[in-house]
Amino acid sequence: MTRNGLRKGHARRGWSIIVLLLVFTLVAAACSDDDEPSETTASTAAGSTETTTTAASGAEVSNPGVLVHAADDEPTSLDPAQVEAGEGGETVIFQVYERLLEIGESGPDPVPSLATEVPTLENALISADSLTYTFPIREGVVFHDGTPLTADDVKYSWDRVMTMDLPEGQAGTLSDTIAATRVVDDFTFEVTLQGVNASFLNAVVPSMVSSIVSQDAVEANGGVVAGEPNEFMTTDMVGTGAYKFNVWNRNENLQMEINQDYWGTPANLDLRIEIGSDPDIRVLGLRAGDFDTIETDPSFIGDIEGAEGVTISSEGLTVEPIHIAFNMNAPVDELPGTDTIPADFFLDPKVRQAFNYAFDYEAFLAGALGGFGDFNPHYIPIGIFGYDPSAPVYGQQDVARAEELFRETGWWDEGFSVSVITEEANLFEIAALVLKDSLETLNPNFEVNVLAVAEAQFDEAHASDPVPYAMWVKNADPFADPHPYLSSYAHPDGEWGEIHGFRQAYQDPDQVAALIDAGSVELDVTRRAEIYAEVQALLFDDPMWLIAAQEGSVVAYRSWVQGFTNNPLWPRPSLKFALMDKG
Amino acid sequence: MVDVADTPAVAVAADSAWRVRLGRFRELGVSIFSNPTTVAGLILIVLMLSIAAFAPLITEPNTPDPYQMPRDWSAISVPPGSPGHPLGTTNVGGDVFYGIVWGARTSLRLSVIVVSITVVVGVTIGSIAGFRGGRVDEVLMRIVDVFLSIPELIFALAIAAVLGPSFRNIVLALAVVFWVKYARIMRAQVIHVKENEYVDAARVIGDSKLRIYFKDVLPNSITPVITQATLDMGNIVLVGATLAFIGLAEAGLAEWGILVSEGQAGISAGRWWASTFPGLMVFLWALAFNLFGDGLRDVLDPRTETSR
Amino acid sequence: MQIRAYITRRLLVLPLLIVGTSIIVFTLTRVGGSPIGIYLSHEMSPDEVAELEARYHLDDPLPVQYYYWASGVVRGDLGWSGVAAAPVTEVFAQKLAATMELAVSAAIVAVILGISLGTFAGARRDRLPDHVTRIFAISGAAMPLFWFAILLLIVFWVYLGWFPIGRSDPDVWASISHPTGLYTVDSLLNLNFVAFRDALWHLFLPAMALGYGATAIIARMMRSSLVEEEQEDYVDAARAKGLPERLVLRRHARRNALIPTVTVIGLSFGFLLQGSVVAEIIFRWPGLGRWMADAVLRGDQATIMAYVMFTAILFLLVNLAVDVIYAYLDRRVVLGK
C-alpha cells in the first residue's frame, strides 16, 4: 500500500465519522418529538403565546397516584431536634410528624391535632396563674411503626430536644419558655412555663421543633445524647402524620407514602418531593406536567403566566420579611477598609430614618419580587396577629425627605462610605444592590459597597458577636406569633437588640421594652392588639432595620391539582400535601 | 603571546546579543505579517484594546464606580433593541452593551496585571533554578511540580473560593497558578543557553554572572516567554471569566463571565442575549491572543513546546 | 533498563507530590475562608459556633487538624459535605460515575474526531481543508466552554428541542437497575434500549461541548506531527533500504506521529477534567464538577479538599502514564532531564 493509499484510508475514516455524526443528529431530530412528557425536553420561546409543552394539554394527569412537588432546597436534617428554622427539613417534618396543636388551614389560630382540645382559661386547661397548660392527648393514634401514642412520647419528644440542645436546631424555642414537663397519665400531658407567655400556644406548640416522635423508635436507635445529633433521626422518620416516610435519595428526592392507619382524614396521593433542580428547570417541569407543584422565584412568574394547564397562587405573603440591619455595635476598626462611618453613625434615628426613606422599594418589589410582595411596619409582618394596617410604613421611596434628614444630620455634604454584606446570587444580593443604587443616585458623596459572599462566609460573620459589618441583608425567621418577632428584632435586650446595641440607639428603650414585655404576657386578645399597635407606631420613628419587603408567597401548580391550600404560617412552601388530590 | 581579547570568536561574543536580536526583528515583522491568521489575530487584538481604551467615550461611565454595571430597575430583562439598551438588559436591569464595553476594560486590567506578576515571578525563579542548578534547582522544581499537579482551573477555583469573591482575589488566584509555566520555560532556556559557546567565551573574558545573564542569557531566552505571555493574555481572561461565571467575582461588576452566568437562568425562557453577547466577547478576546500568539510561536520558536 | 529506572523514580516521587499537594491545599482551605461556615445555621450564638468548631476540630492548631484529616482519609472518612448533607465518601462514588461517563464520552469523541480531522488535514496540507482545520483548532483553544455550551443549549434544546438537559429522564432511570452507576452501561446490561437511548440523548450535547476543545488540540497535534514525519529523512532512508511500505509506516512514521499526539491526549485529560466543572453546571449534570462548584460557592471545605486531591492524583497518574508511553514509543528521548 502506498503512502497515499494509507492517507486516503485515514481520510475515508475521517469522513465517515463526520457523516455518522450528522446522521445521528438528524435521527435525534426525527425521534425527539415522540418522547413521553419529560422534564428535560423543552422548546419554548419567551413571551410566545404558543407553548409546545409535550404534556397532553390538560386532559391526562401525569404521575397518577403521586403528588410531585419540586422544592427549592434540600433538607439538612429530618430530626425536629436538629432542623433549622425555615429550611427544607421543616417542610418534610410538617407532612410526616405532628404536634399537639397545628395552625389551622384558615389559621392563624391553632387547632387541635394530637391534643384533643386547645387549652384556654375558660376550659380550665390553662391554670388560673396562666403558668400550667394541660393537654388531653388523642387516643387511638398509632405511630408509623405501629406503636401507640401516649403522653410519654410527648414528654420524651420535648425533653429530648432540650437535652440534646443542638446549636443548629431550635432548642431555645422550648428551653426558653418551658420550666417543666409532666406526664399526668397515659393521655394527659402537662407543661409548666417559666413565666406568663401569650405566644406559647401560637408560636411554640405548633412549631416544628415541638413535633412528637416515637420514644420506642428513638430509644432503639441511639437514644438521647446531650449535645450530639442522632444519626437515625437525622435521616429517618417515625411519626404519626398522614404521610409515612419512605426514602431520602440525597440530591434527588424524598418519597413518602399514604399512611393507611392515619387517625384523621387520610391523604389522597403518595408524595414525592424532588430536590436539586434549578429554578428554570422547575418551571419547565411544571409546564411539561412532570411536577404538580413547584416552589418558584417571583422572577419566573412571567415565564409561567399564561402557560396551559398551570395556575399561579400568589395572594399570600410569606412571614419572613427581607431586612437590612443597622449595626450600632460594629467595631469601627474591624470594618472593611473602605468604610468611613464613625462608631455612632447609626445611633442617630434621623440617619436610620433617612436610609428608610431613601430605599427604592418599588424597584426592589418590581425587580426582585416580580411585583409579589408588600411592605410591613416595624416589626410585625402582615398576616401575623397584632399587625396594624393603619400603622405607618416605609413602603414608598421619599427622596426629598431622605435628603432633608441627611442634611439635618450633616451627612449630606460630608458623605460616607459603608459596606453591606450579603449572601451572593439571591434576593438578598439584589436588595443590597438596590440599596446601593438608591443611595448613590441620591448623592454622589454616598458610597455603598456590596460584599456578596459565599453563604458559609456570611453565616460565620452573621453568627459573630459583634458582627464585623455595619450592615447586612437577610430575612427574618418565620414565626406564628408577634412576640418572637419583636423579641428578636425590636426588643432592646432581645437577641439582635444585644448584638446590635439597640439599647444605646433607642430614644426611649425602656418604653419599647415595657411595651413588648407587656404584649408577651397579655392574654386578652383585644388589649394585646392595642399594645402592639402602639409598638408599631413607636418603631416607625426609631427603626432598627430597613425592611426591603415582605415577600409574596408564590406557588405555581398544575390546574389538575385539587384541594390546594396555602397558609403562609405553615413551613415553606406553606402547603399541606395531604389535603391535595389530582384529576 | 596572543592576547585572547583579539581573537575573532571573542569579538563576536563581545558584540551584544541584544543587537543581534534587534536585527532579527525586522525579519520577524515580515514573517508575522505574511501569515493571514496571525494578522487576523493582530487586528482583533487592536479592536479589543481599542474598545477597552475608548470605553468612556463609547458609553457614559457609571458613577461612582465605572466598573459597576448600571442597573435600570424599570427595564428588567428587556430584549435587544429596547430604548436605551441596544443589547438588552440582564435580570437585574444591567445594560448588556455597557457590560460588553467596560468588560473589555476589566479584562485588560486583569490580564495585564496577572501576566506582569507571573512573568516577573516565574522568570526570576526559573532563572535562579537554571543558573544555580544543584540543590536549589531540585527544590524549586519540586515546588513547581507540586503546583503543576493540580489542573489550573481547579487550583484557581480552590484559591479564589477560599479568598472570597472579588476582582482582587481572582487576580491573586490566577497569579498563584500561572507563574509556574514561566519558571519552567526560563529554566530550560537558561540551562540550554548556559551550555552555549558565547557564554563560555564571555566567562573566559571575565564578565560577571549578572552581566552574562542580562547580556547573553536573557535575550536568548526571552522569546518563548514572550510567546507564552501573549497566549496567556488570552487565557487569563478565559479562566478569569470562567471563575466569575462560577460565581467568584464581586456583585454587580462589569465583567463578561458574571454577565453570562446572570443570563443563564433566562435561557430556557428564551432570554438569550444576556449570555450570548458577553460570551462572544470572551471568545473573541481569547481568539485574538491565541491567533497572534500562535503565529508568533511559529515564527520565533517553531520547535519549542510552550504549553497552552 | 533506563525506562524501568525512570518509572521507578517517578513512582517514588509520586507519593511525595501527593502529600505536598495535600498540605498546600489543606492549608489553603483552613487558613483562608471560613471552614466552619458551612455547618452554621443563621442565628447561632457564638457559644454554639464554638461548640461546632470543637466538634469538627477547627479550634486545634493546623498540623493537628491536618493529622485528623489525613488519618480520616486513611480510614476512608473524607469528612462531612455541607453541600450534600452527607459524608463525602457516600456521595463521591455516585457523582464520580456520572462525571466519568461524561468525560470518557467526551474523550472518545475528541480522540476519534481529533485524530481523523488531524490526518485529514495533514493529508491536504496548506489547502483549504487544512486552513479550515487550523481555524477550528485555534478556536477550540480559545473557546470559552461556558459560552459554547450555552450556545448549544440555546440552539439544540430551547429552539430545536432535539436534545434534553440533565443526565436522565427520572422515570426511565428508575426503571432499570444500576450495577455500575454508568447509565449507558447499566441500560445495556439491563437490555433496556429505551434507557440506552435516553442515556445517549442526554450525553450528546454535554459530550460534544466538553469534547470540542480537546478535539481541536488533538487534531492540531496530529496534523502537525504527521506533516513533520512526512519530512523526516528516515522515511526515505527506510524506503531506500528496501523496507516494505507497510513496515516503514507502521514501525516508524505512524509511531512517531503518535508520540506527541499521545502527549496531547494526556493533556486533554486535564482539559476534560476542568471543563467538566463548567459543563456540568450548564447541562445540569449531577457529577463531581457541579458538586465542586456548589462547594466552592458555599464554602464546603471538606468537598473542596476531596475534589482537589482526587483530581490532582488522577492528573498525576495520567501524566505519568503519558510520559511512560512517550518514553516507550520514542526511545530516543533522554529519560530524566
- The per-residue pLDDT for C204 is 94
| Mean pLDDT for chain B overall | 83
CB contact under 8 A, A434 and B268: no
Task: Tell whether C310 lies on the interface with B, counting CB pairs under 8 A.
Answer: no
Q: Are strands A471-475 and A416-423 parallel, antiparallel or unpaired?
A: parallel
Average pLDDT over residues B232-245: 94
Query: Which residue(s) pair with A448 in the sheet?
Result: A418
Instruction: Note whether C298 contacts A458, CB cutoff 8 Å.
Output: no
pLDDT of residue A45: 30
The pLDDT-based confidence of A528 (bands split at 50, 70, 90) is: very high
Among candidate residues C113, C110, C107, C118, the one with its CA nearest the CA of residue C257? C118
The alpha carbon of C12 is separated from its chain's Cα centroid by a whole number of angstroms, namely: 24
CB within 8 Å of chain A, chain C residues 2-31: none
> Roughly what angle, to the nearest 10 degrees, separates helices B273-300 and B218-246?
170
Q: What percent of chain A has pLDDT over 70?
A: 90
- Flag whether pLDDT at B9 surpasses 80: no
Whole-prediction pTM: 0.84
Hey, which residues 158-197 in chain B have their CB within 8 Å of chain A? 161, 164-165
How big is the CA angle at A198 (ends A193 and A201), to the nearest 5 degrees? 75
Q: What angle do CA A67, A70, A75 make, to 5 degrees?
A: 110
- Looking at per-residue pLDDT, the higher value among A453 and A144 belongs to A144
* Angle between helix A3-31 and C88-123 (nearest 10): 130
Q: SS in 3 state form for chain C?
A: CHHHHHHHHHHHHHHHHHHHHHHHHHHHHHHCCCCCHHHCCCCCCHHHHHHHHHHCCCCCCHHHHHHHHHHHHHHCCCCEECCCCEEHHHHHHHHHHHHHHHHHHHHHHHHHHHHHHHHHHHHCCCCHHHHHHHHHHHHHHHCCHHHHHHHHHHHHHHHCCCCCCCCCCHHHHHCCCCCCCCHHHHHHHCCCHHHHHHHHHHHHHHHHHHHHHHHHHHHHHHHHHHHHHHCCHHHHHHHHHCCCHHHHHHHHHHHHHHHHHHHHHHHHHHHHHHHHHHHHHHCCCCCHHHHHHHHHHHCCHHHHHHHHHHHHHHHHHHHHHHHHHHHHHCCCCCCCC
Residues from chain C contacting residue A424 (CB–CB below 8 Å)? 297
Tell me the shortest Cα–Cα distance from B68 to chain C, in angstroms: 21
Is C42 or A216 the better-scoring residue by pLDDT?
A216
- Of the partner residues C138, C296, C308, the one whose CB lies closest to the CB of residue B287: C138
For residue range A395-412, list pLDDT tens digits in order. Answer: 999 999 999 999 999 999
What integer is the mean pLDDT of A505-526?
Answer: 93
Model pLDDT, residue B306:
40
In this prediction, residue C315 has a pLDDT band, given cuts at 50, 70 and 90, of confident
Q: Rounded to whole angstroms, how far apart are CA atoms C26 and C28?
A: 5
Amino acid present at B189: Q
Distance CA A259, CA A271 (A): 11
The answer, yes or no, to whether residue A44 has pLDDT greater than 60, is no
Contact A464 C36 (CB under 8 A): no
CA distance C33 to chain A (A): 7
Q: Does C297 touch chain A (CB under 8 A)?
A: yes
A482-506 average pLDDT score: 94
Q: Which of B3-7, B45-49, B175-179, C194-198 has the lowest mean pLDDT?
A: B3-7
Do A204 and A172 form a contact (C-beta atoms < 8 A)?
A: no
Q: Which three cell numbers stand for residue B160?
A: 479564589
Using CA of residue B40, residue C140, residue B67, residue B117, what is the dihedral sign? negative
Residue in A323, A420, A436 with CA at minimum distance from that of residue A378: A323
Q: What integer pLDDT is reported at residue A38 of this predicted model?
A: 35
Q: Is the pLDDT of residue B207 over 70?
A: no
What's the pLDDT at A43? 31
The reported pLDDT for the residue numbered C247 is 61
Residues in C 158-217 with any Cβ partner in A closer than 8 A? 158-166, 169-171, 197, 201-202, 204
The pLDDT score that the predictor gives to residue B199 is: 59
Contact yes or no for A428/A474 (Cβ under 8 A): yes
Tell me if chain A has a CB within 8 Å of the CB of C86: yes
**Mean pLDDT computed over A516-539:** 93
A246 vs A249, A253, A259, A452, A542, CA distance in Å? 10, 11, 11, 38, 50
Q: Provide, as residue numbers in chain B, all residues whose Cβ is less than 8 Å from the Cβ of C31.
A: 162
In whole angstroms, give the CA distance from residue C171 to residue A252.
12
Query: Residue C142: its chain B contacts at CB < 8 A?
Result: 234, 238, 283, 286-287, 289-291
User: Which of chain B's residues have a Cβ under 8 Å away from the Cβ of A42?
Assistant: 268
Residue B194: is its pLDDT beyond 90?
Answer: no
Would the pLDDT of A33 be above 70?
no
Q: How confident is the model at residue A144 (pLDDT cuts 50, 70, 90)?
A: very high
Nearest to A450 among B161, B247, B251 (CB): B251
* Residue C269 distance to chain A (closest CA, Å): 22
C249 has a pLDDT exceeding 60: no
- Identity of the residue in C51, C91, C123 whose CB atom sits nearest the CB atom of A11: C123
For an interface test with C, the pick among B162, B170, B239, B260 (most C C-beta atoms closer than 10 Å) comes out as B162
Residue A490 has pLDDT above 70, yes or no: yes
Judged by average pLDDT, the poorest of A233-237, A510-514, A546-550, B193-197 is B193-197
Confidence of residue A224 (pLDDT cuts 50, 70, 90): very high
Q: Is A43 on the interface with C (CB under 8 A)?
A: yes
Name all chains with 3 or more CB-CB pairs below 8 Å to chain A. B, C
Set of chain A residues whose Cβ sits within 8 Å of the Cβ of B267: 280
Contact A450 B71 (CB under 8 A): no
A576 DSSP assignment: -
Q: What is the pLDDT of residue C59?
A: 78
pLDDT at B179 over 90: yes
Hey, are the CB atoms on C144 and B242 less than 8 Å from each other?
A: yes
> Using 50, 70 and 90 to split pLDDT, how confident is the model at A559?
very high
pLDDT exceeds 90 at position B150: no
Mean residue pLDDT of chain A comes to 87
CB-based contact, C146 to chain B, within 8 Å: yes
Higher-pLDDT residue of B232 and A51 is: B232
| A7 has a pLDDT exceeding 50 | no
Range with the lowest mean pLDDT among A163-172, B98-107, B241-250, C295-304? Answer: C295-304
Q: What is the pLDDT of residue A259?
A: 94
Distances (CA, A) of C152 to A213, A402, C299: 50, 49, 30
Q: What is the pLDDT of residue A52?
A: 29
Here the cell at position B177 is: 497558578
In chain B, which residues have their Cβ closer than 8 Å to the Cβ of A44? 268-270
* Long-range Cβ contacts of A43-50 (<8 Å, 24+ apart): A43/C157, A43/C158, A43/C159, A43/C160, A43/C161, A44/A284, A44/A287, A44/B268, A44/B269, A44/B270, A44/C158, A45/B270, A45/C158, A45/C159, A46/A303, A46/B266, A46/B269, A46/B270, A46/B271, A47/B270, A48/B270, A49/A306
Average pLDDT over residues B121-137: 87
Residues of A in contact with B64 (CB under 8 A): 440, 444, 447
Check whether B15 has a pLDDT greater than 80.
Answer: no
User: Rounded mean pLDDT of A360-373?
Assistant: 90
Residue % of chain A over a pLDDT of 90 = 63
CA distances from A183 to A152, A204, A478, B175, C329 (A): 6, 19, 30, 66, 82
Would you say B147 and B177 are in contact if contact means Cβ atoms under 8 Å apart?
A: yes
Residue with cell 450570548: B276
**A35-49, A221-235, C292-306, C318-332: range with highest mean pLDDT:** A221-235
Cβ–Cβ of A463/C49 closer than 8 Å?
yes
Q: How confident is the model at residue C175 (pLDDT cuts 50, 70, 90)?
A: confident
Residues of chain A with Cβ-Cβ distance to C166 below 8 Å are 39-40, 281
For residue A5, pLDDT beyond 50 = no
Looking at the predicted structure, is the pLDDT value of residue A541 above 50? Answer: yes
Whether residue C210 is predicted with pLDDT greater than 70 in this model: the reply is: yes
The verdict on a CB contact (< 8 Å) between C146 and B279 is: yes
Query: Which strands form A132-136's sheet, in the order they lie side by side?
Result: A132-136, A188-193, A178-185
The ipTM, to two decimals, is 0.83
β-pairing verdict for A310-313 and A555-558: antiparallel
List, in sequence order, every residue forming a beta bridge with A324; answer none if it has no partner. A473, A546
Q: Annotate A433-492 with DSSP letters as a single string.
A: HHHHHHHHHH-TTEEEEEEEE-HHHHHHHHTSSS-SSSEEEEEPPP-SSHHHHHHHHT-T
Interface test with B, best of C296, C309, C310, C334 (most B CBs within 10 A): C296
Sign of the torsion formed by the C-alpha atoms of C120, C126, C127 and C131: positive
Contacts of B265 in chain A (CB under 8 A): 278-280
Using 50, 70 and 90 to split pLDDT, how confident is the model at B3? low
Higher pLDDT, B261 or A97: A97
Give C12 to chain A, closest Cα distance, Å: 39
- Does the structure show a pLDDT above 80 at C102? yes
Average pLDDT of span A304-326: 89
